[in-house]
Structure formats: C-alpha cells, structure tokens
Structure 1
Amino acid sequence: MAKIATVMTDMFEDVEYTDPAKAFKDAGHEVVTIGPEKGKDVTGKNKEVTITVDESIADVKPEAFDALFIPGGFSPDMLRADERFVKFAKQFMDDKKPVFSICHGAQLLITAKALEGRKATGFKSIHVDMEYAGADVLDQEVVVCSNQLVTSRQPDDIPAFNREALNLLSG
C-alpha cells in the first residue's frame, strides 16, 4: 500500500482533506500529514476539523513517500511561501510520482513551476494562474494527466477525485 505525504497548514478546506484522507485510509493506504511544525495542531478554514501534524517539512524527504496529496483552501497559498514545501512538491512531479491536488492545491504546483505542459484543473479563481504556469486547464470535475497528476476543482468533485486517485494508486 502507498504512503501518502499530505502537505497542509491552517485554513485547509476541511472536507477536501477529510474525505480523500478517509478514502485513502479505507483502501489501506497510509496518510502522513506534513506541516511547518511536527505536533502542531492545524485547523480547517470552516473550523470543523483540527489535525495534529505528523511530521515537519524539515524532517521529511520525498523519496520516503509514494504519493503527494495537496488539499485546498487557503493552506496551499500559505505553504507556497515556504521554499521547502515548493521543493518537496516539485520533486514528486519531477520523479513522476502520483500527485493529488484539489481546489487551490494547484497553487503549490504553480509556484513549483510543475504544471507546464500538463492537463489540470483547479478552483475557477486560479484557472488563469494555472494557464500562465503553462497548464492546459480543463473545467471538469476531475482531470488525470500522464497517469500521474489528479486534479479537481472543488468539494463537489471529491467523489470523482477520490475515485481517480484510488485508481491511480491501485494501478
């Protein structure tokens, strides 16, 4: 089963973390939360969920994980200001490991300059940013690119997002 690095900090979109994380765990995968500080509690923007960060970004390496999950909300925008998260995400893309990004999660991939030439989607307000980053942006509930990158737009797309992420992990 896969070990999935999940990068997040405060203000993540609650359901965009909880539903995929549950689907991954229910399928037997390990979900490891990675934030700025190990042991720190981070709270979703809707204040429905608080998660204790498993590992600090300072203490992890991409090669220890099989896939990357980036929940949306305001969290990805905060994470992309920290070069350690940017490099971490870019390494998964460069290594062609599975990357699952929903809603505003693509902001981290934009900053990592990892979307050029890729088909992807994200929340409507970042479509232009994704286009400037070189992505072929599609307005669909889920987009799978090169059997590596799975992206979705918003919470309503979570069932399709989970289905395609799990398909990729099982393949």
Structure 2
Amino acid sequence: MAKIATILTNLYEDSEFTDPAQAFEKEGHEVITIEKEAGKEVKGKKGGTVTIDKSISDVKPDDFDALFIPGGFSPDTLRADDRFVKFTKAFMDAKKPVFAICHGPQLLITAKSLKDRDVTGYVSIHVDLENAGANLHDKEVVVCQNQLVTSRTPNDLPAFIRESNKLLK
C-alpha cells in the first residue's frame, strides 16, 4: 500500500483533508501529515484539528509514494517556505502521484511544475494556473498524465477521491 505525504498547516479546508485522508486509509494507504514542526496541532478553517506527524526537515520525497495537498489557506502559507516548494517539485519531477484540491495547486505553481499540464483549481487561482503555463479546465476533476489529480472545491471531493484512489492502485 502507498505511503502518502500530506503537507498541511493552519487554515486548511477541513473536508478537503479529512475526506480524502479517511478514504485513503480505508483503502489501506498510510497518510503522514507534514508541517514545519512534528507534534504541532494545526487548525482547519471549520475548527477541525490535526496533530502533525513529521517535520518537513525530517522527511525526504523518496520516503513516500504520493503527495496530497489539501486546500484552504494552507497551501498559500506553505509555499512561502522553500522546503515545501522543493518537496512538492520533487514529486512532480519524479512523476509520483500528486493530489491537489482547491488552492492546493498554489504549491505546484510556486514549484514551477504546471507548464503544459492539464489542471483545475479554485476559481480564484484560475488566472494564476494559466499564468503558470497550465491548461486550465473548469471541471470537477482533472487527471493529467496519469500522475496529477486536481479538483476545485469540496463539492468535487467524490470525484477527486475516486481518481486519486485509482492512481494509488
């Protein structure tokens, strides 16, 4: 089963973390949360909390099979730290599965990993995705090159989870 790196910090969109994480674990995958500090409790926009498993300083992309980037304000905060940007870029460069929903693609933009890629994301980042050279599709889920799964909002979670789990098989 897959070991999934999940990069997350305060103000993540609760359901965009919890629903996929629970679905991945139900399929037997291991979801490891990563932030600046292991053991730290981060809070979601709707009041949920997650205790972080690992510090970004203590992990390597080679330790994981896939990367999961929930939305909310978390990706925008994390992309200000070059360690998270390099971590994200390593998954894209290695062609490992990457799952990004809502504002999650902001990390992919900063990692300069979206040129000529088919993607979607929250409406407020559509122009940013296009400026990054991505091929934008306003659809509930977009799968690109059997590696990258993106979705727009919590309403798209069923399709996002379905397509992400397909790539993990």
When normalised by structure 2's length, the TM-score is 1.00
Matched ranges for 1:120-131 at <5 A? 120-131=119-130
Superposition CA RMSD, Å: 0.3
Partner residue of 2:147? Answer: 148
Deviation of the 1:46 alpha carbon: 1.2
Classify the secondary structure of the residue corresponding to 1:130: helix
Q: Does 1:18 align with 2:31?
A: no
Classify the secondary structure of the residue corresponding to 1:104: coil
Partner residue of 1:88? Answer: 87
Classify the secondary structure of the residue corresponding to 2:103: helix
Q: Any gaps of 5 or more consecutive residues in structure 2?
A: none
Letter in 2 for 1:2: A
Whole-Å separation in 2 of the counterparts to 1:139 and 1:36: 32
Partner residue of 2:165? Answer: 166
When normalised by structure 1's length, the TM-score is 0.98
Whole-Å separation in 2 of the counterparts to 1:147 and 1:60: 25
Deviation of the 1:167 alpha carbon: 0.5
Q: Any gaps of 5 or more consecutive residues in structure 1?
A: none
Whole-Å separation in 1 of the counterparts to 2:55 and 2:45: 21
> Between Structure 1 and Structure 2, how many residues are aligned?
169
Whole-Å separation in 2 of the counterparts to 1:86 and 1:31: 19
Deviation of the 1:81 alpha carbon: 0.1
Classify the secondary structure of the residue corresponding to 1:86: helix
Task: Give percent identity, aligned residues only.
Answer: 67
Question: After TM superposition, what 4+ stretches of structure 1 lie above 4 angstroms from structure 2?
Answer: none
Partner residue of 1:37? Answer: 37
